[in-house]
């Protein structure tokens, strides 16, 4: 093993017996262990958080079955790369052993990219192993998902992580030469977040930071090392939420420069582009609403376009939308309206629908008056007739208050003209 590689790479398991955790998959009675023993393996999606062994498991599976192994990353691979691998693995006869194609972060593949895998998976030309940190039900197309088994990898426990540390100190050629005392491990555990790769690499940095003498690992040392190396974006931890919060607030605050900066932080950190797009769809209604109804169309189209185009070009689409939303007029009137209406529902309970508004599909319902007094609005002047649409108990309640922007002030003028005092903003 190359000692210039990070500790996590140097300690990568070489056999299934060396895998820590995931006993439900590769333990003595694990489902994958049994499948490997039988020499048969379905195409699969490995779903789990970072640093729990998805890539390692894929390599070991191919090794156990003595099959050719090809690895692609969805971040920098496209349909052309997939087809080249399939062509290399092609010509599989009755007694041949299909190649294993591992695609890391398969959720980043667009629909077209995922479609390119279907034929080879169906024919058995390749055994696909896709790795994802995102729910495959949402991120993998149904046609591909139906051809794969989904196996869930669990976060590593504190006990698992301590086993990894002990193994590293005993077996790594560099660490064996050092005097290392694990005086405290709480901060190491917190910094790892169940991620073996982050744990081992943070541990190695702490040992290096201790100088040439004995390395005494304390919570304080770990905090210093983690803060010094905090430039890395953590898509599973606190920074994930802090940066998406800064991104949303920058667009809400009409600052396109800040919005693009925080977007760049997420792009460089490997954030899921669909997560970013979904948050922009939410902002388009929550913070812009009817001040600019096109914002919701723009954001929704952006999410669809990112799914079709994939990465890395999808970042340009996200940037265009973020700038548009940041520069748009703003209103949270729709957001406040549904909140006020929900509060009223909780307060007043299941109030009866007015008789005039009830559906009357049967003769009995018509006979007892359902819908009898309803007046068809289009028969009135300006397609409007003044009538009550709320339950009697809360008649006259106002939930929607148009925002102070040109578009919604047009709504306000129209509502006041139609409803007079009911929609007059005083």
> Using CA atoms, how far apart are residues 288 and 328, in angstroms rounded to an integer?
7
For residue 280, what pLDDT band results from cuts at 50, 70 and 90? very high
CATH of the domain spanning 338-423 = 1.10.3710.10
pLDDT for res 365: 75
Residue 209 pLDDT greater than 60, yes or no? yes
Long-range contacts of 88-92 (CB under 8 A, 24+ apart): 89/120, 89/125, 89/126, 90/125, 92/123, 92/124, 92/125
- The CA radius of gyration of the chain, in Å to the nearest whole number, is 29
Provide the whole-model pTM.
0.53
pLDDT for res 304: 92
> Using CA atoms, how far apart are residues 278 and 321, in angstroms rounded to an integer?
12
Sort 108 into a burial class: Cβ within 10 Å, 0-12 / 13-18 / 19+: buried
Which residues have C-beta within 8 Å of that of residue 207, sequence separation ≥ 6? 175, 178, 180, 215, 217
Half-sphere exposure of 295 (CA within 13 A, CB side): 28
pLDDT in tens, 134-165: 888 878 888 899 889 899 988 888 898 999 99
Residue 348: count of CB within 10 angstroms of its CB: 12
Residues of each domain in the chain carrying CATH 1.20.272.10: 238-327
Across 306-327, average pLDDT: 89
Residue 352 carries which DSSP code?
A: P
pLDDT for res 90: 63
What is residue 291's three-state secondary structure? helix
For residue 193, what pLDDT band results from cuts at 50, 70 and 90? confident
Percent of the chain with pLDDT over 70: 93
pLDDT for res 235: 52
Percent of the chain with pLDDT over 90: 14
Asked if 362 and 333 touch (Cβ cutoff 8 Å), the reply is no
Residue 248 pLDDT greater than 90, yes or no? yes
Closest CA to 109 of 332, 273, 333, 246: 273
Residue 286 carries which DSSP code?
A: I
Which residues have C-beta within 8 Å of that of residue 183, sequence separation ≥ 6? 216, 217, 218
pLDDT for res 71: 86
Across 238-253, average pLDDT: 82
Q: Which CATH number fits domain 158-228: 3.40.1160.10, 1.20.1080.10, 1.10.8.60, 3.40.50.970?
A: 1.10.8.60
Residues of each domain in the chain carrying CATH 3.40.50.300: 22-152
> Using CA atoms, how far apart are residues 305 and 277, in angstroms rounded to an integer?
10
pLDDT for res 400: 82
pLDDT for res 231: 46
Q: Which residue has the higher pLDDT, 214 or 92?
A: 214
pLDDT in tens, 174-190: 888 888 888 888 888 88
Asked if 305 and 273 touch (Cβ cutoff 8 Å), the reply is no
Q: Which residue has the higher pLDDT, 228 or 397?
A: 397
Across 410-417, average pLDDT: 83
Residue 2 pLDDT greater than 50, yes or no? no
Residues of each domain in the chain carrying CATH 1.10.3710.10: 338-423
Which residues have C-beta within 8 Å of that of residue 313, sequence separation ≥ 6? none
Residue 367's H or E segment, with its range, is: helix 363-367
Q: Which residue has the higher pLDDT, 130 or 125?
A: 130
Asked if 230 and 195 touch (Cβ cutoff 8 Å), the reply is no
Asked if 70 and 99 touch (Cβ cutoff 8 Å), the reply is yes
Residue 296 pLDDT greater than 90, yes or no? yes
pLDDT for res 228: 55
Give the DSSP per-residue string, 177-243.
Answer: GS-EEE---HHHHHHHTT-HHHHHHHHHHHHHHT-SS-EEE-HHHHHHHHHHTTTS--TTSHHHHHH
Residue 392 pLDDT greater than 60, yes or no? yes
Dihedral over Cα of 318, 324, 327, 332: its sign: negative
For residue 409, what pLDDT band results from cuts at 50, 70 and 90? confident
β-bridge mates for residue 99, sequence order? 126
pLDDT for res 194: 78
Phi, then psi, of 379 in degrees rounded to 5: -85, -5
pLDDT for res 138: 77
Average pLDDT, the chain: 83
Residue 238 pLDDT greater than 60, yes or no? no
> Using CA atoms, how far apart are residues 92 and 127, in angstroms rounded to an integer?
12
Secondary-structure class of domain 238-327 per CATH = mainly alpha
> Using CA atoms, how far apart are residues 279 and 299, in angstroms rounded to an integer?
9
Residue 327's H or E segment, with its range, is: helix 314-327
pLDDT for res 359: 81
Distance of CA 89 to the CA centre of its chain: 32
Residue 83 pLDDT greater than 80, yes or no? yes
Residue 104 pLDDT greater than 60, yes or no? yes
Sort 178 into a burial class: Cβ within 10 Å, 0-12 / 13-18 / 19+: middle
pLDDT for res 320: 94
pLDDT in tens, 356-377: 888 877 777 777 778 888 888 8
Asked if 308 and 112 touch (Cβ cutoff 8 Å), the reply is yes
Q: Which residue has the higher pLDDT, 229 or 133?
A: 133
Residue 10 pLDDT greater than 60, yes or no? yes
Dihedral over Cα of 237, 242, 248, 251: its sign: negative
CATH of the domain spanning 22-152 = 3.40.50.300
């Amino acid at each position: 093993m190359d000692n210039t590689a990070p500790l996590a790479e140097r300690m990568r398991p070489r056999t299934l017996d060396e895998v820590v955790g995931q006993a439900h998959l590769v333990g003595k009675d694990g489902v994958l262990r049994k499948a490997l023993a039988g020499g048969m393996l379905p195409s699969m999606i490995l779903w789990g958080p970072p640093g729990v062994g998805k890539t390692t498991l894929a390599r070991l599976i191919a090794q156990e079955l003595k099959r050719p192994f090809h690895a692609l990353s969805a971040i920098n691979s496209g349909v052309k790369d997939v087809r080249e691998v399939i062509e290399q693995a092609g010509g599989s006869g009755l007694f041949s052993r299909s190649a294993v194609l591992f695609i890391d972060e398969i959720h980043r593949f667009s629909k077209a990219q995922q479609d390119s895998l279907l034929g080879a998976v169906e024919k058995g030309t390749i055994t696909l192993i896709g790795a994802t940190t995102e729910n495959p039900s949402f991120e993998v197309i149904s046609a591909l998902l139906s051809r794969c088994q989904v196996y869930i990898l669990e976060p590593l426990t504190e006990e698992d992580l301590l086993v990894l540390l002990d193994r590293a100190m005993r077996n790594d050629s560099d660490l064996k030469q050092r005097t290392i005392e694990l005086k405290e491990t709480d901060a190491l555990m917190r910094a790892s977040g169940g991620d073996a790769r982050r744990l081992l690499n943070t541990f190695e940095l702490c040992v290096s930071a201790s100088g040439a003498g004995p390395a005494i690992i304390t919570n304080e040392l770990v905090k210093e090392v983690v803060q010094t190396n905090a430039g890395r974006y953590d898509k599973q931890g606190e920074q994930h939420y802090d940066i998406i919060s800064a991104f949303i607030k920058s667009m809400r605050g009409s600052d396109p420069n800040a919005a693009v900066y925080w977007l760049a932080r997420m792009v460089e950190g490997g954030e899921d582009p669909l997560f970013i797009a979904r948050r922009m769809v939410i902002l388009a209604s929550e913070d812009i609403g009817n001040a600019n109804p096109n914002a919701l169309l723009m954001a929704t189209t952006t999410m669809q376009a990112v799914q079709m185009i994939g990465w890395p070009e999808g970042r340009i689409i996200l940037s265009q939308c973020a700038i548009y939303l940041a520069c748009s007029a703003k209103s949270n009137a729709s957001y406040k309206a549904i909140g006020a209406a929900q509060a009223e529902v909780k307060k007043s309970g299941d109030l009866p629908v007015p008789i005039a508004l009830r559906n009357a599909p049967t003769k009995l319902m018509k006979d007892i008056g359902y819908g009898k007094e309803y007046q068809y609005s289009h028969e009135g002047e300006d397609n409007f007739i003044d009538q009550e649409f709320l339950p009697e108990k809360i008649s006259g309640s106002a939930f929607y208050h148009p925002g102070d922007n040109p578009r919604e002030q047009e709504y306000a003028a129209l509502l006041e003209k139609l409803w007079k005092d009911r929609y007059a903003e005083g």
